[in-house]
Structure 1
Amino acid sequence: MALVLVTGASTGLGLATATALAADGHDVVLHARNAGRLDDPGVLERMHDVVYGDLAQLDATVQVARQADAIGPFDAVVHNAGVMRSRDTLAVNTVAPFVLTATMTAPGRSIVLSSGMHRSGSPQRLEADFADPGRTSYEDSKLFVTALALALARRRPQTLTHVVDPGWVPTRMGGPSAPDDLEDGHRTQVWLATADAESLEPRSGGYWYHRVARAPHPAAADVTFQEAVVSALEARTGIALPN
């Protein structure tokens, strides 16, 4: 049995991930922006605990980390929370996973949600996006968080860190016409959070689509770019990433 935190789990893929983990007998801590985000408050009956906080806000994200640490340490954290077209895109999709990682007790595993759209992101946009985060595209934010996750896999070998492309699925974000299967969209996260570590290849630092390891954008795998992303996040938040 694992203790797992799932961020952005009030609806969509996060809720599907949290529900599936709980159904498998794991202790799940559900994160939501606030209680009003839960379409079905009854879902909390199946959860081990719940934490609330707006991941678009730095101080609130730090408070989420503190709430979670009071429950943990965690066997796995699934960084699922995300927004698509918003002035908070960089904050939620990239900054929040960094802040939670930098301020929480290190979990056994970290699973970061990316997107196939990260391949359309531009590494040349890093400086401009961090200077004016309200203009950051979804594609850039997912490129940056993919690079961050792969940097974490390299810098923190004690935590098995993986990146997941869940596909384009029919959630509130993806829309009803999304072509990929919602079930397939969360199965990889559940598997990575709980499978025997020896069954994972690679054991850490994988980029996954439906449980198949694939190559990410070349920039995301580039150590120089990874370190540039970490440095930009440290400068933006004032929080150093402990090794």
Structure 2
Amino acid sequence: MRFLLIEDNEELAAAVVDRLSLDGHVVDHAADLSTASDFTSVTSYDLILLDIMLPDGDGRSFLNSHRNSKNSTPVIVLTARSEVSDRVGMLDSGADDFMVKPIDFSELEARCRAVLRRRGGKSTNRITVGDLTFDSLAGTLETPTEVVQLRPRELRLIEILINAPGQIFSKGALVDRLFSYDEDVSENAIEVYIGRLRRHLSASRTEIVTVRGLGYKLDAS
């Protein structure tokens, strides 16, 4: 998954990026609203983590603009304000959840998973397609013959495919979802990870299909 973190505290931002990256997520960091707007104008995100007090304005203005533009990307607000009225105001403005600083990273990860589940209309971390079951919390892929412990980037790639079975993803779209701006990678990297996942799926009737000239899709037929 690709996240946008809007946070001006460099130490906190670095800690959040490091923690979420360990889970295989791509996290772009914007230290102000201007940079955040530049990022969202060219990139689609799965989740936005938004600080309120920023050098060039109030994060609530970003949230209001985000929702007024009909952008459905979920937003978790990171705030030092613990008053009920502040929390109610942020939720009414379109925030999907919030966390009061200082942040507990285990709770942050759990809230990210919960928000993403709600966005996908799912109630658990387990997704079954055909004879394949993926557990995003455990990081496992269960086939008819084994349970595979996935590496972080394998995990995020199958997560993209299994959440939209039958949908075709181009190599470029997958690069955008799996790698940050700082990583110099080519689309050939996607072929490598697709190859690894196909080996994991060798005993399953569910397969990753190459659609010539277009990309890849997960097929459970």
TM-score normalized by structure 1?
0.39
Normalized per residue, the structure richer in strand is 2
Normalized per residue, the structure richer in helix is 1
TM-score normalized by structure 2?
0.42
Higher-RCO chain (CA-CA 8 Å, sequence separation at least 6):
1
